[in-house]
Amino acid sequence: MKRKKGILLLVVGLLILIPSIVLAAQPTVELSGVLNAKPGDTVAYDIKINSSGDTRASKYEANLEYDQNILELKSITAKSWTKESGSSDLNFSYQDGISGSSTIATITFKVKDNVPKQTTNIALKDIKITTLDEEDSSSIVTISENASHKVSLSVKSTDNTLKDLKVDGKTIEDFKKDNYEYELSVSSDTDEVEIKATPTNANATFEEGFGNRDVKLDYGENEVLIKVKAESGEIQVYKLLITREDDRNTNNDLKEIIINSGRIKLELSKNKVNYTIKTYKLKELEIDAVPVDEKAKVEIEIPDEIIVGDNVVTITVTSETGEEKVYTLTFENSDKELDTKLKNLYIKGYNIDFDKNTMVYQIVYNKKYKNGLDFSIVTADDEELVGYTIFYNGEEVTDDTNISLKPGDKYEIRVYPLGLEEGDSSETTTYTIEIVKDKRVSFFLILEILIALVLFVLIIVQVVKRNKKRKNNANQENNNNVVSNEKLQEEVNKTKVIDTDELNKINELDKE
């Protein structure tokens, strides 16, 4: 019983192994080639036969299947095989047959232009191989279709155009997807723009750093690139030339340099940048520089320690456009003794008989100078080392000081060494001018009063004379009226009275 079971198992095993042996001897076919392409590309595919054992392949037949709307067949080239005509698309033979692996042909296609994105297949159908054994006996093998007989080709889009391009939310004027360069201008105060681009093809992308973004703008022309990458890998560059207008001020001049709160005076000249200033016992420097253009930047470098001799200060003024101008101030600091008295002092309209050792003067108020006195001052020592300040009623006089001069007001002229520290009055000389009321009797005023009195008396005399004359005229007129009345009465008395009878007689005589 056990022996019968063993035989049965052996038979079954042989039945299982026989197909495997047959299949192992059967040749195989493989189609391989390009898997990705783009419109316009040329793609090639190799057909390979694998013969195993002592089997040799002597003839190959198959039909080629592909989408002619996508691919254009360019050539079929046999390799070591003879191409023959036949009913099949592919028909190759080899006289002695070939064993092992061999590429029998290369099929070349061109992907047609303007093909939209899609996947297409190239396949081998109805494959038949004629084989030869060791004894040159031939047999025809039909090979069933499988995955190795088909290649899927992915056609990728080459569209790397834009359908819209916006700057700060507004589409560029006259934008066209096949126009790759544009020029536009923005205002001077626009320091950044937003770039927003939209590819025509949804599968297109941007090169890193060259897509949608915010772009900082320099003054003048700025080149902004947008790089669109098609699904197939080709890159198209759009160029924006953005000109940022520049209305910045180029002025880098100084309007004023204020030294130690104005105690040290410096008159600026437009085209002059180097100044030498003499100072006396200068220990500290405080400098403020005011540019003509308030947007210009000012940097001041002052020595850490002020010495007797030269002390150099630099003032760098940078305009909005970045242009620099450097002012250099050299302070020649001296410690020699100085005379802080005045050599002379003049006041317009007054003779004060100035003496440098007389510190207080009084002048009589004159309404002609109610808006302030006009001084002319000459220092005794070098004016580059000695300065002065004029005060009115305790306030420093400037161009903006409003003066309404009156008796009781007071001017002070303080003369001091330039560079003297604030609050140090030990070497300051002060001259005082007091405004007093005029108490003198004016000759011209008396004369004016006398003239006024004379005129008044003359007017009274004239009025009296006029009234007397008017009265005399009135009396004369009354007398004339009395005389007229008397004459009238005499004439009346001389008149004869006519009675009625006489009047009638007179009338009758007239009628005759």
The pLDDT tens digits of the residues spanning 373-382 come to: 999 999 887 7
Asked whether residue 264 falls in the same domain as residue 148, the answer is: no
Half-sphere exposure of 107 (CA within 13 A, CB side): 27
Asked whether residue 187 falls in the same domain as residue 300, the answer is: no
**pLDDT at residue 420 in the model:** 63
Range of the domain at 75: 25-155
How much is the CA Rg of the chain, to the nearest whole Å?
64
Which residues are registered as beta bridge partners of 224? 240
Q: Does an H or E element contain 405, and which? A: none
**pLDDT at residue 286 in the model:** 93
Separation between Cα atoms, residue 506 and residue 512, nearest integer Å: 10
CB-based burial label for 28 (10 Å; 0-12, 13-18, 19+): middle
Q: What value, to the nearest 5°, has the Cα angle with vertex 379 and ends 374 and 384?
A: 110
**pLDDT at residue 11 in the model:** 46
Read off the pTM. 0.49
Asked whether residue 43 falls in the same domain as residue 73, the answer is: yes
Strand pairing report for 138-143 and 118-132: antiparallel
Asked whether residue 220 falls in the same domain as residue 150, the answer is: no
Q: How far is CA 450 from the centre of its chain?
A: 78
CB-based burial label for 60 (10 Å; 0-12, 13-18, 19+): buried
Divide the 512 residues of the chain into consecutive groups of 10 and give the mean pLDDT of each group: 50 45 67 92 94 84 93 92 84 85 93 85 93 84 89 92 96 95 95 96 94 96 97 94 94 94 86 91 92 96 95 96 95 86 92 93 91 91 81 90 92 84 73 88 76 90 84 70 60 57 65 56
How many domains does one find in the chain?
4
Neighbours of 441 (CB within 10 A): 7
Q: Is residue 445 part of a domain?
A: no
Q: Is residue 493 part of a domain?
A: no
Residue type present at position 75: S
Q: How far is CA 152 from the centre of its chain?
A: 57
Q: Residues 80, 60: contact at Cβ < 8 Å? A: no
Separation between Cα atoms, residue 41 and residue 420, nearest integer Å: 89
Q: Is residue 452 part of a domain?
A: no
Strand pairing report for 324-334 and 274-280: parallel
CATH number at residue 198: 2.60.40
Among the listed residues 112, 125, 110, the one whose alpha carbon sits nearest the alpha carbon of residue 65: 125
Distances in whole angstroms, Cα of residue 281 to Cα of each of 83, 174, 331, 337, 421 = 113, 73, 11, 9, 9
Query: Which residue among 381, 415, 436 closes a domain?
Result: 436
CATH number at residue 108: 2.60.40.680
Asked whether residue 70 falls in the same domain as residue 122, the answer is: yes
Query: Which residue among 284, 307, 334 closes a domain?
Result: 334
Asked whether residue 76 falls in the same domain as residue 136, the answer is: yes
**pLDDT at residue 441 in the model:** 61
Q: Is residue 485 part of a domain?
A: no
Q: Does an H or E element contain 367, and which? A: none
Residue type present at position 511: K
389-415 as b/e, with b when 16 or more CB fall inside 10 Å? bbbbeeeebeeeeebebeeebebbbbb
Q: Does an H or E element contain 311, and which? A: strand 309-318
Asked whether residue 168 falls in the same domain as residue 151, the answer is: no
Q: Is residue 18 part of a domain?
A: no
DSSP 200: S
Neighbours of 417 (CB within 10 A): 24
Asked whether residue 44 falls in the same domain as residue 128, the answer is: yes
CB-based burial label for 80 (10 Å; 0-12, 13-18, 19+): exposed
Residue type present at position 20: S
Separation between Cα atoms, residue 22 and residue 159, nearest integer Å: 52
Separation between Cα atoms, residue 117 and residue 230, nearest integer Å: 11
Q: Residues 152, 45: contact at Cβ < 8 Å? A: no
Q: Does an H or E element contain 450, and which? A: helix 443-494
Separation between Cα atoms, residue 317 and residue 107, nearest integer Å: 76
Query: Which residue among 129, 155, 181 closes a domain?
Result: 155
Q: Is residue 292 part of a domain?
A: yes
Separation between Cα atoms, residue 450 and residue 435, nearest integer Å: 30
